[in-house]
């Protein structure tokens, strides 16, 4: 229903505040129609990077190319990128309909075309019955969808979203995630999505960029990043990890990839023995903390339905894992 | 046991009595005078239609007040806009300059204008010395002079409510407008102005109401040629001793102000106007 998405190329992009690098030589190729997520802790430079792409933050050095053409000197209003702000930034004095029509009416499109397009967008975000309401008469999730419809209304090649679900409660957030993903597939626009919620990143993205201190830590598909983290930061920021030191290298080992058995029952080359320190029941899984002499406590997830009754604290256990389960990291130390 | 009235009222009771005695009393007295002096009846009010002088004075007053309000709010809007967009230190410097102008007496400011723009003022003698003009430009002792003085005096009053309403705008809304492709002018006209409307209305009301009662500036800078209601009232009270006419005009001003407030209250909640912020 919308034109094809645009591709973005960020070339050694930097933003310094004084001498502080908020974004530090970022190189990134964003493909046409991709759902790309910038994930990182607070202060890692996600918003700054997004605002540079949007044109609201000037570039200290580097370049941004849209479909091969530099847009570094194009002002924000000429870039034609849709943007969904944290807190939505809807126009409080306009109805839902006028909010959505705004990008078309400032482009002086014919009335009939605007009306048809707005109706189409209202339908897309399922807000047709709310067209005449004002933003303050809507729930958070509804406002979020108005912001999305407004930003998509003029068929931008790229849509930028800064923590668009940050203000929603957990349950609503999961619902809107699914809607957002569905809309992305239908419109074919390139989405650049900022979040610090790792589950959100894993469930929605085609690729995830993990950022730290203004730099890209690692880029990859959700399963790449989860199965093959390159650094301890990536391994611990996306999901949980145990870290093991072996032969002068550091390995990451996911809690659910470890088999736990009563002492003596464990088989295999990768095996350590220890004692149960604590066990917590989470419905689907049992989380064990196992104290192993000479190592940090190891966390192990066991499917609750498989293991029968939980082993008591102090019980002696063997921990085993397959050769491929432990991933060698580039870090030399922790 | 509950008091028949909320006890908080007891605290303000003495002040209510003071206000009632010292404020409402004289006002009622004025209203009373306007229908009893010199003879009982509506004779004083009838002058409004019969007397050419009164008609001219009222027309001058309204014309001067409207022009002054328009320009004060225009300048005030630009200054407030510059202030909210200035960096922190510049902004506080601008605010203190604005407040300083509140502390300078209206007399000082009025006579300063005479020294600047009068027949032998700095500007005229400068221009003459440079040979640009041969006759002094009549800035002062006419309606232009009154307008210059009044606008200069009223601009800070216009700035404050507008500034408050601008400060309550979420900067992301303006960014959103730009990201959606609006030009600067479109953003100003379709987003910024509507969101600051309450501030503009409050500023206009405030300026207009204060203008209605202006006395010193028209008297000094008008050179006797620009007679406005306040000055005329003072003449009636002090010189010709026609208290009835004076009381009638005072009552008229009072009702004018109340009517304005009433009309505005139909359009928006007065609390938001004077709070300066949108709800
Ligand atoms: N105007 C500014 N002046 C100086 N430093 C700034 C400015 N804006 C941001 N920074 C710094 O740049 C860094 C990156 O900020 P940014 O807002 O991009 O982080 P973020 O990843 O979006 O964080 P969050 O998840 O909290 O929104 C932070 O350390 C911040 O303190
Ligand atoms: Mg941010």
Smallest CA separation from ligand 1 atom 18, residue: A45
Q: What is the pTM of this model?
A: 0.81
Residue A275 and residue A221 share a domain: no
pLDDT in tens, A232-263: 999 989 888 999 888 888 999 999 999 888 88
Task: Single out the residue of A246, A214, A210, A205 nearest to residue A231, CA to CA.
Answer: A210
Predicted confidence (pLDDT) at residue B10 exceeds the cutoff of 90 = no
Residue A257 and residue A118 share a domain: no
Confidence bin at B271 (pLDDT 50/70/90):
low
Residue A317 and residue A196 share a domain: no
Give the best residue of A88, A93, A135, A149 to mutate against chain B (max B CB count within 10 A). Answer: A93
pLDDT in tens, B149-174: 999 999 999 999 999 999 999 989 99
Residues 6+ apart with CB under 8 A from B90: none
Q: Does B24 fall in a domain?
A: no
State how many domains chain A has: 2
- Partners of residue A317 on adjacent β-strands: A262, A274
Residues 6+ apart with CB under 8 A from B31: B247, B251
B176 contacts in A (CB within 8 Å)? 83, 85, 89-91
Residue A292 and residue A207 share a domain: no
Predicted confidence (pLDDT) at residue A41 exceeds the cutoff of 70 = yes
In this predicted structure, what is the pLDDT of residue A225? 94
User: Whole-angstrom Cα distance, residue A84 to residue B222?
Assistant: 56
Residue A22 and residue A55 share a domain: yes
Instruction: Give contacts of A 297-316 with B, CB under 8 A.
Output: none
Domain with A190 in it: 8-232
- Ligand 1 site, CB within 6 A: A 17, 22, 40, 42-48, 196
**Three-state DSSP state, B47:** helix
A291: left (phi over 0), alpha (psi -120 to 50) or beta: beta
Percent of chain A past pLDDT 70, that is, above it, reads 99
pLDDT in tens, B47-101: 888 989 899 999 999 999 999 999 999 999 999 999 999 988 999 999 999 988 8
Secondary-structure percent of chain B, ordered helix, strand, coil, rounded to 5: 75, 0, 25
Contact A83 B179 (CB under 8 A): yes
| Nearest-10 Cα torsion for A142, A143, A149, A154 | 170
CA A301 to chain centre: 24
In this predicted structure, what is the pLDDT of residue A205? 95
Q: Does B110 fall in a domain?
A: yes
Q: Does A210 fall in a domain?
A: yes
Q: Does B261 fall in a domain?
A: yes
Q: What distance, in Å, lies between the first and last C-alpha atoms of chain B?
A: 38
Residue A301 and residue A152 share a domain: no
**Considering only alpha carbons, which residue of chain B is nearest residue A76?**
B179
User: Whole-angstrom Cα distance, residue B143 to residue B222?
Assistant: 6
Beta strands in chain A (DSSP E): 8-17, 20-30, 35-39, 61-66, 69-70, 82-84, 158-162, 190-195, 207-212, 215-220, 242-246, 249-253, 259-262, 270-281, 285-291, 298-303, 316-321, 327-328
Q: Does B184 fall in a domain?
A: yes
Residue A286 and residue A205 share a domain: no
B129 burial via Cβ count (<10 Å: 0-12, 13-18, 19+): exposed
Give the best residue of A92, A104, A158 to mutate against chain B (max B CB count within 10 A). Answer: A92
A103 contacts chain B (CB < 8 A): yes
Determine the distance separating the centroid of ligand 1 and the alpha carbon of A207, expressed in angstroms.
23
Domain termination residue (choose one: A216, A232, A248): A232
Residue A174 and residue A210 share a domain: yes
Ranges A30-34, A120-124, B1-5: which has the least confidence = B1-5
Ligand number nearest to the C-alpha of A48: 1
B152-165: string of b/e by CB count within 10 Å (b at 16+)? Answer: bbbbbbbbbbbbbb
Q: Of residues A125 and B7, which shows the higher confidence score?
A: A125
In this predicted structure, what is the pLDDT of residue A210? 95
Residue A304 sits at φ, ψ, to 5 deg, of -65, -35
User: Whole-angstrom Cα distance, residue A58 to residue A16?
Assistant: 10
Residue A311 and residue A293 share a domain: yes
Q: Does A3 fall in a domain?
A: no
A81 contacts in B (CB within 8 Å)? 179
Determine the distance separating the centroid of ligand 2 and the alpha carbon of A283, expressed in angstroms.
34
**Quick check: B117 and B138 in contact, CB under 8 A?**
no
In this predicted structure, what is the pLDDT of residue B276? 44
Supply the mean pLDDT for chain B.
89
Q: Of residues B5 and A240, which shows the higher confidence score?
A: A240
**Quick check: A24 and A14 in contact, CB under 8 A?**
yes
**Quick check: A127 and A145 in contact, CB under 8 A?**
yes
Beta strands in A33-117 (DSSP E): 35-39, 61-66, 69-70, 82-84
Domain termination residue (choose one: A179, A206, A232): A232
H-assigned helices in A205-289: 222-227, 232-237
Residue A209 and residue A249 share a domain: no
**Quick check: B99 and B77 in contact, CB under 8 A?**
no
User: Whole-angstrom Cα distance, residue A46 to residue A28?
Assistant: 13
In this predicted structure, what is the pLDDT of residue A314? 87
Domain termination residue (choose one: A201, A232, A263): A232
CA A99 to chain centre: 27
Q: Does B31 fall in a domain?
A: no
Q: Are strands A82-84 and A158-162 parallel, antiparallel or unpaired?
A: parallel
Residue A205 and residue A269 share a domain: no
The CATH number that applies at residue A104 is 3.40.50.300
Domain with B157 in it: 48-273
Beta strands in A31-77 (DSSP E): 35-39, 61-66, 69-70
Predicted confidence (pLDDT) at residue B268 exceeds the cutoff of 70 = no
B18: left (phi over 0), alpha (psi -120 to 50) or beta: alpha
In this predicted structure, what is the pLDDT of residue B176? 94
Residue B224 sits at φ, ψ, to 5 deg, of 80, -5
A149 burial via Cβ count (<10 Å: 0-12, 13-18, 19+): buried
pLDDT in tens, A169-217: 888 888 888 888 998 998 889 999 999 888 899 999 999 999 999 999 9
Provide the shortest C-alpha distance from residue B190 to chain A (in Å). 9
Cβ-nearest to A85 among B172, B182, B194: B172
State how many domains chain B has: 1
Residue A131 and residue A261 share a domain: no
User: Whole-angstrom Cα distance, residue B27 to residue B20?
Assistant: 10
Q: Does B196 fall in a domain?
A: yes
The CATH number that applies at residue A247 is 2.40.50.140
Pocket perturbation via mutation, ligand 1, pick of A13, A38, A46 by most ligand atoms within 8 A of CB: A46
User: Whole-angstrom Cα distance, residue A266 to residue A188?
Assistant: 50
Q: Does A244 fall in a domain?
A: yes
The CATH number that applies at residue B119 is 1.10.3720.10
B206 burial via Cβ count (<10 Å: 0-12, 13-18, 19+): buried
User: Whole-angstrom Cα distance, residue A23 to residue A17?
Assistant: 9
Residues 6+ apart with CB under 8 A from B165: B195, B196, B197, B198, B199, B200, B202, B276, B277, B278
ipTM metric: 0.80
pLDDT in tens, A47-90: 999 999 999 999 999 999 999 999 999 999 999 999 999 889 99
């Amino acid at each position: 229903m919308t034109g094809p998405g645009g591709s973005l190329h960020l070339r050694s992009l930097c933003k310094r505040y004084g001498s502080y690098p908020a974004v530090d030589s970022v190189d990134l190729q964003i493909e046409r129609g991709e759902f790309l997520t910038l994930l990182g802790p607070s202060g890692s430079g996600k918003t700054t990077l997004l605002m540079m792409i949007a044109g609201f933050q000037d570039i200290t050095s580097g370049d941004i190319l849209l479909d091969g053409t530099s847009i570094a000197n194009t002002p924000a209003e000429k870039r034609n990128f849709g943007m969904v702000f944290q807190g939505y930034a809807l126009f409080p004095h306009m109805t839902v309909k006028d909010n959505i029509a705004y990008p078309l009416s400032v482009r002086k499109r014919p009335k009939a075309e605007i009306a048809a397009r707005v109706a189409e967008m209202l339908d897309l975000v399922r807000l047709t019955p709310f067209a005449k309401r004002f933003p303050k008469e809507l729930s958070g999730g509804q406002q979020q969808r108005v912001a999305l419809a407004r930003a998509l209304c003029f068929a931008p090649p790229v849509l930028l979203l800064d923590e668009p679900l940050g203000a929603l409660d957990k349950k609503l957030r999961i619902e809107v995630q699914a809607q957002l993903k569905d809309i992305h597939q239908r419109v074919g626009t390139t989405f650049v999505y900022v979040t610090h919620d790792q589950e959100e990143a894993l469930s929605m993205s085609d690729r995830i960029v993990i950022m730290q201190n203004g730099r890209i830590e690692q880029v990859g598909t959700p399963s790449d990043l989860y199965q093959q983290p390159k650094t301890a930061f990536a391994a611990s920021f996306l999901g949980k990890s145990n870290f093991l030191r072996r032969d002068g290298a550091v390995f990451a080992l996911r809690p659910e990839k470890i088999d736990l058995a009563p002492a003596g029952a464990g088989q295999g080359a990768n095996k350590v023995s220890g004692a149960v320190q604590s066990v917590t029941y989470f419905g689907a899984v049992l989380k064990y903390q196992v104290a192993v002499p000479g190592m940090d406590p190891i966390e192990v997830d066991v499917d609750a339905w498989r293991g029968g009754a939980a082993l008591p604290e102090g019980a002696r256990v063997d921990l085993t894992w397959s050769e491929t389960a432990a991933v060698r990291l580039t870090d030399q130390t922790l | 046991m509950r008091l028949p009235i909320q006890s908080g009222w007891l605290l303000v009771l003495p002040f209510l009595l003071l206000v009632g005695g010292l404020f409402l009393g004289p006002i009622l007295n004025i209203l009373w005078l306007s229908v009893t002096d010199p003879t009982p009846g509506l004779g004083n009010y009838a002058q409004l239609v019969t007397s050419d002088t009164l008609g001219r004075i009222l027309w001058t007053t309204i014309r001067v007040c409207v022009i002054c309000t328009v320009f004060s709010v225009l300048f005030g809007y630009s200054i407030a806009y510059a202030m909210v967009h200035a960096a922190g230190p510049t902004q506080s410097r601008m605010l203190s300059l604005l407040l300083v102008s509140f502390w300078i007496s209206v007399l000082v400011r009025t006579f300063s204008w005479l020294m600047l723009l009068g027949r032998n003022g700095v500007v005229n003698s400068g221009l003459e010395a440079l040979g640009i003009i041969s006759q002094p430009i009549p800035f002062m002792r006419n309606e232009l002079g009154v307008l210059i003085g009044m606008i200069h005096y009223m601009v800070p009053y216009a700035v404050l409510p507008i500034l408050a309403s601008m400060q309550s705008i979420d900067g992301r809304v303006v960014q959103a407008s730009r990201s959606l492709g609006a030009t600067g002018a479109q953003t100003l006209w379709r987003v910024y102005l509507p969101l600051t409307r309450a501030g503009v209305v409050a500023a206009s009301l405030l300026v207009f109401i204060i203008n209605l009662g202006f006395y010193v500036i028209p008297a000094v800078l008008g050179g006797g040629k620009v007679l406005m209601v306040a000055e005329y009232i003072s003449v009636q009270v002090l010189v010709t001793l026609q208290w009835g006419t004076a009381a009638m005009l005072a009552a008229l001003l009072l009702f004018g102000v109340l009517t304005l407030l009433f009309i505005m209250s139909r359009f928006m909640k007065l609390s938001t106007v004077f709070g300066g912020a949108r709800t």
